[in-house]
Structure 1
């Protein structure tokens, strides 16, 4: 198949399955016994142990959720010419490295085993995309609930619509490879009571799809039977701030959910919020780099988005009839909730 520039990073497997193989995270290269990956696994082991102990000191619990790479789960769908040794999966190596740290091993959920057990019964990822499908997200969600004693909600139902779409991998091929995507809105009872200024701005200007690290939202759920605990979820695009992935499922289950788009933990934020549960979610391919848990969400947002927000505020103030004293797009939150964020 003729490919466009960059498609050399995409492996065309069997039955329409596409796999990311390279790029900045050296995806296939992580399935190796290299000294670099050995150091990375040791670093992640220290990090998870430190997170578990740090949360214990604050009176909360930590869960570590690694979203397996498609290569780790659907290795039997690879075409001839590409093989990976699943036992060298960074996620599996980390769990083995935590063997003697019992509390940390319990905190590190085994999504690889759970996914491989049901991989032939359902598509846990979109075939043309690097991200998980609702089935994959829901499988992880139920494992999280089981680990912390929460009762999962059934939000499967019928999709609102189906769209023919090429994912982030399929769009790199010539011609693009597409598939039917079920479109689901997962938000039912939870209400978003806070979105950081950059989330509000990007949503208002139709650029939310370009927003990543530094996005921050808070959901409240006052429905009867909701688990009363407060959760802080640090994650990436597999969690997402929009009501389409893991954050929405967690928000439908717990009374208060804070989502921070970051692979690093902000310990100051955790100390201020005092959650019952902290979840660190990361895509397996991002284990190529170690997070820095000295992360400061407020400082990062000011540095990364300060100029953009100031320019948007100035532009809004110059519009006729606008009251420059009001924060554009700001919505009031519910009484008694931390709507402004810590």
Structure 2
């Protein structure tokens, strides 16, 4: 039985899919308004198809004439293949058509945002007469979100004159179904690519949890051994998800770390590895999770970031006794707010004065991640007046990489240590460590990523 589908359309001239019939090669024809605008064959390799036992049966065709997503939706653009003397059509999957609809929606919004405000008011008034109320308000929300995002960031002087408090229904879900409104103005990431809520459903002594913990324990031991060989100290840091510390503000359930993180921390103790580990949960529990986490963001507040840094620092420099007082209010956006309401919302955060030696921090090297990527960047800092004369390398994620913000570990390490290498990736680069011979190596991850074990 022949199987075929179109996997994606990409304006202005690319179509990709596959046709499988036990290795048979077909001639594929693309037509627009009945005219042939592309020809190809289903003989390309694709890893997912090969893994499924279908072999090399994919195709990607570059058309000789441009098409639009509107052509796809209107069925003016069609793909066929020749089967003996018969011409058969290749149909896109439902999710491919839905993807095209979203692309068209994006194009429409992009066009609408340039309409003059006075004209837009007329169009919206007329639209209200002809479509259902819920669709009308959805349109208005999308358009207002684009227009309101043109407003400048509120200034931090006269804070309460520049932002306004409002209330939302607990349980309100973001349009992408990944975030929810909790109690007391707290927003939570609950799903997403890491399916955050699912990590709390496993069982402490299940085979799956034991396996994950075993992999992490083995990894941490390898990291420790490698660093010991080059006279460096290794420290593993696991940061809890916001739900672990503030679950009662989400659904009333008592807060606790996931069974996976609980098992890992228990096994670290049993294997006498506590000297090489900092529990983010235990660290921020000392100041309270409401203080440690932002309301409209998945990350720490400045005081939360500093509190964890201080705990890590004690492992490196036991004599550490530099205190910070958090008493400067400022306005900030968050990484969840826009996902819920389509436009920036703000909260009042509190930071400390920058230490006097902060001004002496300089950047020696900066390599940005590749476009569209969040990992793979590297920034090297030097601060000759830093209080600690050590070289530190940190491998981490978004809890470490914003060296401008006191909420990030990267800020504190880059000003308190004379040399700090900030690398945004999960794997510890052993060759890089060997090359620069640091005093300390830090591996940092977050609870929702624990299902994935880095290679090194």
- Please give the TM-score of this superposition, normalised by the length of structure 2: 0.55
Q: Does 1:222 align with 2:405?
A: no
Summarize the alignment of residues 48-197 of structure 1 with structure 2, pairs less than 5 Å apart: 48-80=220-252, 83=253, 86=256, 88-102=258-272, 104-119=273-288, 123-149=291-317, 151=320, 153-154=322-323, 156=325, 158-159=327-328, 162-163=330-331, 165=333, 167-174=334-341, 178-182=346-350, 187-196=358-367
The answer as to whether partners of 2:209 and 2:259 remain within 8 angstroms in 1 is no
The answer as to whether partners of 1:12 and 1:79 remain within 8 angstroms in 2 is no
Count residues in correspondence: 276
Q: SS at the partner of 1:258?
A: strand
The answer as to whether partners of 2:326 and 2:351 remain within 8 angstroms in 1 is no
Alignment deviations for residues 147-187 of structure 1 (CA, whole Å, 9 cap, x no partner)? 1125254455554x72253x222222247654224577954
172-181 vs 42-51, greater mean Cα deviation: 172-181
Q: Unaligned stretches of 5+ in structure 1?
A: 294-342
Q: SS at the partner of 2:398?
A: coil
Deviation for aligned residue 1:45: 1.1
Could you tell me how far apart the structure 2 residues matched to 1:164 and 1:146 are?
30
Alignment deviations for residues 205-227 of structure 1 (CA, whole Å, 9 cap, x no partner)? xx8xx65211101111111x621
Q: SS at the partner of 1:130?
A: coil
The answer as to whether partners of 2:180 and 2:340 remain within 8 angstroms in 1 is no
Alignment deviations for residues 276-302 of structure 1 (CA, whole Å, 9 cap, x no partner)? 100111122111211121xxxxxxxxx
Q: Unaligned stretches of 5+ in structure 2?
A: 1-168
The answer as to whether partners of 1:227 and 1:253 remain within 8 angstroms in 2 is yes
Q: Does 1:291 align with 2:430?
A: no
Q: SS at the partner of 1:252?
A: helix
- Report the RMSD for the aligned CA atoms in angstroms: 2.6
Q: SS at the partner of 1:98?
A: helix
Q: Point out which structure has higher relative CO (alpha carbons under 8 A, 6+ apart).
A: 1
The answer as to whether partners of 1:153 and 1:253 remain within 8 angstroms in 2 is no
Could you tell me how far apart the structure 2 residues matched to 1:4 and 1:226 are?
44
Q: SS at the partner of 2:450?
A: helix
Could you tell me how far apart the structure 2 residues matched to 1:58 and 1:291 are?
21
Could you tell me how far apart the structure 2 residues matched to 1:130 and 1:42 are?
27
Judged with a 3 Å threshold, the aligned counterparts in structure 2 of structure 1 residues 84 and 42 are, in CA distance, closer, same or farther, namely farther
Matching residue of 1:329: none
Q: SS at the partner of 1:109?
A: strand
- Please give the TM-score of this superposition, normalised by the length of structure 1: 0.73
Could you tell me how far apart the structure 2 residues matched to 1:154 and 1:101 are?
33
Q: SS at the partner of 1:281?
A: strand
24-33 vs 35-44, greater mean Cα deviation: 35-44
Could you tell me how far apart the structure 1 residues matched to 2:255 and 2:291 are?
21
Deviation for aligned residue 1:239: 0.7
Could you tell me how far apart the structure 2 residues matched to 1:258 and 1:152 are?
23
Deviation for aligned residue 1:143: 0.1
Matching residue of 1:17: 186
Could you tell me how far apart the structure 1 residues matched to 2:254 and 2:219 are?
26
The answer as to whether partners of 2:302 and 2:351 remain within 8 angstroms in 1 is no
Judged with a 3 Å threshold, the aligned counterparts in structure 2 of structure 1 residues 129 and 227 are, in CA distance, closer, same or farther, namely same
The answer as to whether partners of 1:231 and 1:278 remain within 8 angstroms in 2 is yes
Judged with a 3 Å threshold, the aligned counterparts in structure 2 of structure 1 residues 255 and 18 are, in CA distance, closer, same or farther, namely same
Could you tell me how far apart the structure 2 residues matched to 1:25 and 1:35 are?
20
